[in-house]
Amino acid sequence: MNHPNFVSPDLIRQRFSKAMSDMYREEVPLYGALMELVEQTNRHVLQSDPQILQQLTSTGEIERLDLERHGAIRVGTADELATLARLFAVMGMQPVGYYDLTPAGVPVHSTAFRAVHEASLQVSPFRVFTSLLRLELIEDLELRTFAQSMLDRRSIFTAKALSLIERAESEGGLTEPQALEFVEQALETFRWHHSATVTAEQYQKLSAQHRLIADVVAFKGPHINHLTPRTLDIDIVQAQMPAHGITPKAVIEGPPRRQCPILLRQTSFKALDEPIAFTDQNEARGSHSARFGEIEQRGAALTPKGRTLYDRLLNAARDELKDFPNEANAARYNALMAQHFSEFPDTWEGMRQQELAYFRYFVTEKGLAAGDLKNVALDDLLGSGYLRVEPLVYEDFLPVSAAGIFQSNLGDAAQTRYGVHSNQQAFEKALGRSTIDELALYAESQRRSIEQCFVALADVVQANEKGSSHNPGKHR
């Protein structure tokens, strides 16, 4: 039920995203530098490429671009994950997708909390890539028991945040003062702590098992480990990073550069070494690195068919490289990617006709002026210029890219082979609900936009029949 005095979850998310960005900018000055570089680049692209400007203006993405970012956190227990799902639900964020990172030697599986409807995404596309540590992968039994006991002992939410989550659930929403307090309280969960909850020796043991295990187990809570702005040209940012004192990872993850960007391209820079006080020290004599910087460029969401083609070409290029991409083989990797991806059509119309990507449909002025188009097929409406399309932006993540980002930040030496594989069922059991299939969401958005076009065209017909003037925006 939507109470008139309740603040919309979309607005709470928008405020939370801003509060998180302000906190992170204060904690990590390099983040501010990165944001400036991305803003500059975006301004430059919008000025020099009228086509991109037009595309982002018609989809409305231009308005969300400066707000757009994703963060990432890692949690240790089912209880933490399930409560996070409830916390994010207050802000209209649902768990979308399941990502298994174990094939890449990272002992976690993950989902992305985000808004699911295009209208909500427009208010705030804020997403949080959320990973759950798979403690069962710690082979040393004593260490596993220790890790479990540390996690069982901590509480990552403030008492006030928990009571506001319950309130939102039982009342159906939060009032203005409650929403303000919720944002403030929720933020505490993601804050950085300068002291660990373990001794230096315990930290070393956890870290020797896997650096990620130490990152989750040795601290009070799941500090946000990066916030990623969206750029319109990631190659420009990658090339300019060194001049700004930032060293990027060797290669950009995701598809190669194209005329028509697809999915997601990402690059990052190494985690900072930050001073930490362990419990057996009274000052910060140790250090821990977890927080890093990342930038991304988003392109079109692909259909299952498009995604299968993407995965095949990516795997082919990687197989041929025979190694993880690194400094030494970066040029060859880029060449192999370009070569393999030449098979992927690089025009919007080509991708639409072959059903490789999802689109949003719009009625054109010509369509509104045309009169009765009731029985004309979709493709013919497009062909005659009565409708036009823009690609739907990809709102999610990519498992191979995420693994590359994890690895570059944990140090490439941290390669582990795990015998187990994906376990979506166990993840969803911990989460307390199932994850949403992202492909179904894109298909729905596309379907809704087509439906809206037909409603708009039918309205024109009706208005004409009544002999009144056109009023295509007015639906019954």
Tell me which residues touch Ni ion (CB under 5 A).
Answer: 72, 228, 294
Which option in ligand OOG, Ni ion, none does residue 102 bind, with CB closer than 5 to 8 A by kind? none
Write out the DSSP string of 96-159.
Answer: EEEEE-GGGT--EEEEEEE--SHHHHHH---EEEEEEE-GGG---HHHHHHHHHHHHH---S-H
To the nearest whole angstrom, how small is the minimum distance from the Cβ of residue 215 to ligand OOG? 9
Q: What residues contact 260, with CB distance under 8 A and at least 6 apart?
A: 299, 300, 346, 347, 348, 351, 391
Q: Among residues 65 and 351, whose Cβ is nearest to ligand OOG? A: 65
Class of residue 271 by CB neighbours under 10 A (exposed 0-12, middle 13-18, buried 19+): buried
To the nearest whole angstrom, how small is the minimum distance from the Cβ of residue 244 to ligand OOG? 20
Contact in structure between 276 and 284 (CB atoms under 8 Å):
yes
Which option in Ni ion, ligand OOG, none does residue 212 bind, with CB closer than 5 to 8 A by kind? none
Which of 341, 406, 427, 442 touches ligand OOG by CB under 6 A? 406
Phi, psi of 217 (to 5 degrees): -80, -30
Only one of the segments 23-31, 143-151, 171-179, 394-402 lies at the binding site for ligand OOG (rule: CB under 6 A); that segment is 394-402
Only one of the segments 194-202, 277-285, 402-410, 431-439 lies at the binding site for ligand OOG (rule: CB under 6 A); that segment is 402-410
Q: What residues contact 448, with CB distance under 8 A and at least 6 apart?
A: 118
Hey, is 9 helix, strand or coil?
Answer: helix
To the nearest whole angstrom, how small is the minimum distance from the Cβ of residue 70 to Ni ion? 6
Q: Among residues 6 and 192, whose Cβ is nearest to Ni ion? A: 192
| CA dist list (Å): 182 to 179, 210, 444 | 5, 34, 31
Which option in ligand OOG, Ni ion, none does residue 397 bind, with CB closer than 5 to 8 A by kind? ligand OOG
To the nearest whole angstrom, how small is the minimum distance from the Cβ of residue 398 to ligand OOG? 7
Q: Is the dihedral of CA 91, 224, 95, 438 positive or negative?
A: positive
Class of residue 83 by CB neighbours under 10 A (exposed 0-12, middle 13-18, buried 19+): buried
The verdict on 401 binding ligand OOG (CB under 6 A) reads: yes
Residue least distant from ligand OOG (Cβ): 402
Q: Among residues 16 and 406, whose Cβ is nearest to ligand OOG? A: 406
Only one of the segments 29-37, 233-241, 395-403, 440-448 lies at the binding site for ligand OOG (rule: CB under 6 A); that segment is 395-403
Contact in structure between 10 and 124 (CB atoms under 8 Å):
yes
What are the helix (H) ranges across 134-229? 141-153, 159-171, 176-188, 200-209, 211-217
To the nearest whole angstrom, how small is the minimum distance from the Cβ of residue 403 to ligand OOG? 8
Which option in Ni ion, ligand OOG, none does residue 17 bind, with CB closer than 5 to 8 A by kind? none
Which of 96, 214, 402, 441 touches ligand OOG by CB under 6 A? 402
| CA dist list (Å): 137 to 107, 110, 141, 206 | 7, 15, 10, 13
Hey, is 191 helix, strand or coil?
Answer: coil
What are the helix (H) ranges across 393-437? 399-410, 424-431
Phi, psi of 192 (to 5 degrees): -80, 145
The verdict on 74 binding ligand OOG (CB under 6 A) reads: yes
Which of 17, 225, 297, 303 touches ligand OOG by CB under 6 A? 225
Only one of the segments 132-140, 181-189, 383-391, 396-404 lies at the binding site for ligand OOG (rule: CB under 6 A); that segment is 396-404
Which option in ligand OOG, Ni ion, none does residue 395 bind, with CB closer than 5 to 8 A by kind? none
Which option in Ni ion, ligand OOG, none does residue 402 bind, with CB closer than 5 to 8 A by kind? ligand OOG
Hey, is 187 helix, strand or coil?
Answer: helix
Whole-angstrom distance, CA of residue 412 vs CA of residue 403: 11
With contacts defined by CB under 6 A, how many residues of the chain interact with ligand OOG? 12
Which of 6, 16, 88, 129 touches ligand OOG by CB under 6 A? 129
Whole-angstrom distance, CA of residue 193 vs CA of residue 336: 43
Tokens of 4: 């008139």
The verdict on 266 binding ligand OOG (CB under 6 A) reads: yes
Q: Among residues 302 and 402, whose Cβ is nearest to ligand OOG? A: 402
The verdict on 219 binding ligand OOG (CB under 6 A) reads: no
Q: Among residues 101 and 356, whose Cβ is nearest to Ni ion? A: 101
**Torsion from C-alpha of 170, 174, 177, 179, nearest 10 degrees:** 120
The verdict on 111 binding ligand OOG (CB under 6 A) reads: no
The pattern of x and - marking residues 131 through 150 that bind ligand OOG according to CB under 6 A reads x-------------------
The binding site for ligand OOG (CB under 6 A) comprises: 72, 74, 129, 131, 225, 266, 294, 397, 401-402, 405-406
